[in-house]
């Protein structure tokens, strides 16, 4: 294996939607990912399962690995021939020490690329309605590190900053807020100059305090602030209330956990983000085709015997058609068989394969599917149900009670897994999650297996249907169920749950 390559990738300020397309593309092709605690959870949840992970820590006052060691790690992994992604919060070259990491690589002839990231001094004010430049107020922007070594004075020319009359953004300066404000005041800044501190911008914990240079510290002591946060000084801060938009979104301020099959892009998560939620997508389950394919292959060989083909999930559709192709069959082998779909998601997946569902129940669950199908049977039919290993047993009973002969064939199995990068249990027990969204009973089980908590009574669960709700109820969760088993109805439910929570607090 020859020499590898290193990519310094900016992960942005937190919101996964601000991670760049190139960053995602590079991440998906990585062999090794070197990351730290400043990378947002949304981005971490997108790291492929197959990569080698190296956590180098790094937070203010707590460095798991010294910078020199991080530089060596990048070099060593590249020398092994790997594609190495150094995932960094924000932008690699803005106080990210990216230049230092490249020096050693350059010295040893290691090829590298830099993928810029959306940076917090621009993104966080934007999410708080603060334009960092506005021609009515200023014509320059200055970004300054607020971090200083213990026992040392700031190496900042405060007088020069005041003379610019521009917007000032201080990063990593929360612990030294008073020193920064005093430095500006001593340098001649108007005590009534607007100033703001912006906490955890672009996430559900976003919060802002707007005051003046002379009283910002007092307001922070009164209202409280958590890190990471940035400090903005300038007349543009007065625009925050006028231009604020994030908090107007219906799910702003809510952190929602979505459990999903690992190989599926989550439309649910995308819709929740659209509505303002910070969404943590965790792969609670993954699906794999069963090893023994004897029964499904035999069914393919006699498809003309079946009058109905019944699908109970989009995954079931995907696996069925994949296995059919591998068996040397295609859509023509389905003949005149009629097709039943459990719900809208499965119907859409069938449509992708050129199949129109002949039957779909009004309520999207196994019992309703069985009842709807039973009403159109005369009792002589033969029915094929290719689905997960452990499916709704009542579905088969409803059909056999009508006299039908049913081949209930497992084509895939559900495997429960946990995230290596995110401590799900800690997120739950710390009260960081406002709501968990479940789209199937198996995702409930996957969530429980992955978190291993002793008590789930504090979990607010939004469930897509009856079986999913029953699974969550069994663990003592506070459950709500969507009116219809659709993603749109599920999103509406989460919005309603948040509104009810806010009404209780008033």
Active-site amino acid positions: 36, 58
**Contact indicator for 495, 475 with CB cutoff of 8 Å:** no
> In degrees rounded to 5, what are phi and psi of residue 387?
-155, -170
Q: How many Å apart are CA 44 and CA 37, to the nearest integer?
A: 10
Q: The tokens 């040893």 sit on which residue?
A: 108
Structure tokens at 134: 């506005």
Dihedral sign (CA 286, 291, 292, 293): positive
**Contact indicator for 388, 313 with CB cutoff of 8 Å:** yes
Cβ contacts of 465-472, under 8 Å, gap ≥ 24: 465/363, 465/364, 465/365, 466/363, 466/365, 466/367, 467/365, 467/366, 467/392, 467/440, 467/441, 468/438, 468/439, 468/440, 468/441, 468/443, 468/444, 470/441, 471/438, 471/441, 471/444, 471/445, 472/438, 472/444
Q: Which residues contact 402 (CB under 8 A, 6 or more apart)?
A: 374, 377, 379
Q: How many Å apart are CA 434 and CA 154, to the nearest integer?
A: 40
| Element of type H or E holding 344 | helix 344-352
- Cβ burial of 483 (10 Å; 0-12, 13-18, 19+) is exposed
């Amino acid at each position: 294996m020859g020499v590898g390559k290193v990519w310094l990738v900016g992960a942005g300020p937190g919101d996964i939607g601000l991670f760049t397309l190139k960053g995602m593309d590079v991440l998906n092709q990585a062999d090794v990912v070197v990351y730290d605690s400043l990378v947002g959870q949304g981005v971490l949840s997108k790291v492929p399962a197959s990569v080698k992970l190296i956590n180098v820590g790094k937070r203010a006052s707590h460095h798991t690995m010294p910078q020199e060691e991080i530089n060596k790690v990048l070099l060593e992994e590249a020398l092994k021939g790997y594609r190495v992604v150094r995932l960094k919060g924000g932008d690699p070259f803005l106080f990210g020490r990216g230049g230092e990491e490249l020096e050693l690589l350059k010295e040893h002839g290691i090829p590298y690329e830099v993928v810029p990231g959306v940076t917090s001094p621009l993104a966080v004010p934007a999410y708080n309605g603060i334009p960092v430049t506005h021609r009515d107020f200023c014509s320059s922007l200055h970004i300054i590190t607020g971090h200083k070594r213990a026992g040392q004075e700031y190496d900042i020319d405060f007088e020069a900053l005041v003379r610019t009359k521009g917007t000032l953004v201080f990063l990593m300066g929360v612990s030294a807020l008073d020193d920064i404000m005093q430095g500006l005041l001593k340098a001649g800044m108007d005590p009534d100059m607007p100033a703001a501190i912006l906490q955890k911008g672009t996430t559900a914990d976003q919060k802002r305090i707007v005051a003046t240079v002379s009283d910002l510290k007092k307001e922070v002591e009164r209202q409280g602030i958590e890190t990471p946060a940035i400090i903005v000084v300038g007349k543009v801060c007065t625009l925050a209330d006028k231009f604020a938009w994030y908090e107007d979104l219906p799910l702003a301020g809510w952190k929602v956990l979505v459990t999903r099959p690992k190989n599926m892009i989550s439309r649910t998560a995308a819709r929740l983000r659209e509505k303002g939620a910070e969404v943590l997508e965790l792969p609670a389950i993954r699906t794999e085709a069963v090893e023994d394919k004897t029964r499904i292959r035999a069914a393919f060989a006699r498809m003309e015997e079946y009058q109905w083909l019944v699908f109970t999930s989009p995954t079931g559709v995907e696996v069925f058609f994949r296995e059919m192709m591998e068996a040397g069959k295609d859509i023509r082998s389905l003949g005149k068989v009629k097709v039943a779909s459990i719900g809208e998601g499965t119907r859409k997946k069938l449509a992708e394969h050129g199949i129109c569902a002949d039957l779909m129940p009004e309520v999207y669950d196994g019992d309703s599917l069985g009842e709807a199908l039973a009403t159109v049977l005369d009792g002589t039919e033969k029915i094929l149900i290719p689905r997960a290993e452990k499916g709704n047993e009542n579905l088969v009973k409803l059909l056999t009670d009508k006299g039908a002969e049913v081949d209930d064939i497992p084509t895939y199995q559900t495997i429960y897994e946990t995230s290596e990068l995110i401590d799900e249990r800690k997120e739950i027990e710390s009260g960081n999650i406002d709501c968990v969204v479940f789209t199937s009973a198996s995702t409930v089980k996957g969530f429980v297996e992955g978190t291993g908590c002793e008590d789930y009574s504090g979990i607010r669960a939004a469930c897509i249907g009856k079986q999913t709700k029953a699974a969550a109820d069994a663990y003592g969760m506070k459950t709500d169920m969507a009116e219809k088993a659709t993603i749109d109805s599920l999103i509406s439910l989460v919005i309603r749950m948040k509104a009810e929570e806010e009404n209780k607090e008033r």
